[in-house]
Amino acid sequence: MSSAAPLPLPGRQNPLVIGGHMDADRALLTPRGELVHGCAEALAEKLAGLPAGTARIDVDMSGVHFMDSAGLEFLEVLRDHGRRRRLPVTATRWNGQPRRILELAGLDTMDPLRSPAPHGAPSPALTAVAREREERLLLLQEEVEQLRQAIASRPVIDQARGILMATYGCTSDEAWHILREASQLSNTKLRAVAEAVAAGSRPNGPRPPEAVRDALSRALARRHP
């Protein structure tokens, strides 16, 4: 039986599903999808359903293609389960974006559960490491949020590029640079510029704001003098 985590990323339909099987007294778990909000709860449910005689848990992470900071909660659930049950737990075969998240968090990319955890009062060195990790996690959260926004913005940006290409005979790359330059010149978010272009192309659609119109004109003049 599989456990699924709710609430996948906006624009995606690929929540976490945790499969697996028993090999004698060893449990092999195979998560598939995204480590986002709800993944730790799904894992806890899966672990609670393992047979009482389970002596080892190995988690194959190769099927996970995206994670945000909730993935660290997923790892903590695994680590805590191993401590309480006094059994070895591994989480290996990380790839792509999740592997980069581990790097940013300062964890072992081969198996983050091998990273040593402090016992008792933290030493000054461990405190410094904890502070550095907290700073990295803040950067990680910003990076993930930018990725979320990019995923949500892509359809309207692609639509605006198509409109510019059809209207001005420019290439896809030229249309992208025009939108980006107009965003910079008008101090307006790229998505807002794209939405203004798309809305203005509709019958009786509203004209883009004056600042955006002026920036688009200047950007177009530079690309198509």
Give the angle 164-165-166 at the CA atoms, nearest 5°.
90
The topology under which CATH files domain 153-223 is Arc Repressor Mutant, subunit A (1.10.10)
Instruction: Provide the residue ranges of all domains of the chain, joining segments of one domain with +.
Output: 3-117, 153-223
pLDDT in tens, the chain (225 residues): 444 444 334 444 457 999 999 999 999 999 999 988 889 999 999 999 999 999 999 999 999 998 887 888 899 899 999 999 999 999 999 998 888 888 877 788 899 888 554 444 444 433 445 566 666 666 776 766 666 665 556 788 888 888 888 888 888 888 888 988 998 999 988 888 888 888 888 888 888 889 988 988 898 888 755
Is CATH 3.30.460.10 what the domain over 3-117 is classified as, yes or no? no
Q: What is the pTM of this model?
A: 0.53
* Cα 65 from chain centroid (whole Å): 9
Task: Retrieve residue 84's tokens.
Answer: 């309480």
